[in-house]
Amino acid sequence: MIPFNKPYLTSTEIAYVTNVISNRYISGNGSYTKACQAYFERTYGFSKCLLTSSCTDALEMAAILLDFKPGDEVIVPSYTFVSTANAFILRGANVIFADSHASHPNIDETKIEELITNKTKAIVVVHYGGVPCEMDTIMLLAKKYNLYVVEDAAHSVSGFYKNKPLGGIGHLGVFSFHETKNIQCGEGGLLVVNDKQFEKRSEIIWEKGTNRSSFSRGEVKKYEWIDVGSSFLPSELNAAYLLAQLENIEKITQERKRVCERYDKQLSSLVQSGTIKVASELGGHHLFYMLVETLEVRSALINYLNKNGINAIFHYLPLHLSPFHLKTSPKLSLPCSEHIANTLVRLPCFVELTDSQVDLISQTVKTFFKQYKPVLDVSEEVNA
Ligand SMILES: *Cc1c(COP(=O)(O)O)cnc(C)c1O
């Protein structure tokens, strides 16, 4: 079986983790944590970065920093991972779901303005697969209505929008280093603070609501409880593992790019014939996905690939149709995110996937479409 993902190991994770163990400094905010944060600050020009235990944690920090209160509204794409919405729900906020583009999972920037009310506090965007959202339009909208923008850049490490690094454009940005992401340490994340007004408080929330970070720098004589907060910082074991990955970020990005570009070339005849859509011209190298015509085709294709030893999978279920959201909210229709949820297929994509494996997978996809005969009268709506 060709797996969907295989976490890549550089040659230095074990040495760095061993070093943490022999140093006997295992808890958070040690030298490896600082090195990871400094890496992002130096490489992308981010002004302040805080390593977290997950992207979910970084999103929760963002919701606290933006001072979300019960009744406040946040605009979130429906086609995303649950944490993008949950972080705000935990603060009592109401999540207002936005639709995707018709042919791409990213939030449709032309449909955001109609969702803004006098309770709206922030817009969260997700750069799906590392493909940037239309940030110029979104930042202008935020300025016009005095809103904050949070970039969920979980897919977007080392991605750019008009030469600006993703995660560095909104007031706050978040990254994920979960095992399934490009750069990973099992579980991990990062909060990027781009708006200086949040810098000081971000450290306090990160350190359980105390000014311990100031204390460590010798700025205060004792550390005290001064705000809300939680234990958002990861252990040095994770940070050490992550640093090894960061030092190989160019190679890792390059290899994923190779895989995506090769799929693109191999599947171009299917794109030209209108059988599938891919996002190639939009950039982004976290995953390779295609959009097929219907849910029925998608299910048959995934089945066929699995039978032929290829682990292809679909992705998010739209959050506006989730059992949790429907418990308290009326059912609404977001046709583009529903259609994408029904028709998106992700193919294996990882550093060690060889060119000949990409060719084999592409050939199998083409063979499927050659022999596929649609069955009529099958309902398309899984999520409805
Ligand atoms: C993976 C992911 C998350 C959550 O990341 P964790 O590090 O697992 O908490 C959030 N948002 C998006 C878009 C993701 O893909």
Q: Residue 384: its pLDDT value, please?
A: 42
Strand partners, 187: none
DSSP string, 7-73: ----SSHHHHHHHHHHHT--SSSSHHHHHHHHHHHHHH--SEEEEES-HHHHHHHHHHHTT--TT-E
Residue 84 beta carbon below 6 angstroms from any ligand 1 atom: yes
Q: Does residue 101 have its Cβ closer than 6 Å to ligand 1?
A: no
The SS3 of residue 364 is helix
- Specify whether the CB–CB gap between 201 and 178 falls below 8 A: no
Residue 176 CB–ligand 1 contact under 6 Å: yes
Cα dihedral 60/66/71/77 (nearest 10): -60
Cα(154) to ligand 1 centroid in Å equals 5
Q: Is the CB of 83 under 6 A from ligand 1?
A: yes
Provide the token pair at 53: 């235990």
The DSSP element (H or E) to which 335 belongs, if any, is helix 335-343
Evaluate: CB of 81 within 6 angstroms of ligand 1: yes
Q: Using DSSP, state whether 348 is helix, strand or coil.
A: coil
Low-confidence ranges of the chain (pLDDT < 70): 376-384
- Top mutation candidate among 51, 55, 100, 150 for ligand 1, by most atoms within 8 Å of CB: 55
Which residue pairs, CB below 8 angstroms and at least 24 apart, start in 133-140? 133/106, 133/107, 133/109, 133/161, 134/106, 134/109, 135/161, 135/162, 135/164, 135/169, 135/170, 136/162, 137/109, 137/110, 138/107, 138/109, 138/112, 139/169, 139/170
Cα distances (Å, whole numbers) of residue 191 to 98, 279, 341:
23, 27, 28
Query: Residue 60, class by beta-carbon neighbours within 10 Å (0-12 exposed, 13-18 middle, 19+ buried)?
Result: buried
Q: What are the DSSP calls for 139-206, one per residue?
A: HHHHHHHT-EEEEE-TT-TT-EETTEETTSSSSEEEEE--TTSSS--SS-EEEEE-SGGGHHHHHHHH
Q: Name the residue with the closest Cα to ligand 1, atom 2.
A: 154
Is this model's pTM higher than 0.85 or not? yes
Compute how many other C-beta atoms are within 10 angstroms of the C-beta atom of residue 146: 8
CA distances from 23 to 18, 26, 38, 223, 236 (A): 9, 8, 20, 25, 10
> Ligand 1 center to residue 85 CA distance, Å?
11
Q: Among 127, 178, 181, 315, which is best to mutate for testing ligand 1, by the most ligand atoms less than 8 A from CB?
A: 178
Strands of the sheet containing 277-278, edge to edge, are 277-278, 288-291, 344-347
- Cα 35 to chain centroid, rounded: 22
> 238 CB under 6 A from ligand 1?
no
**Which residue among 50, 52, 56 is best mutated to probe the pocket of ligand 1, counting the most ligand atoms within 8 A of its Cβ?**
56
Question: What's the CA-to-centroid distance between 59 and ligand 1, angstroms?
Answer: 9
176 Cα nearest atom in ligand 1: 7
Could you count the other beta carbons within 10 Å of the beta carbon of residue 148?
21
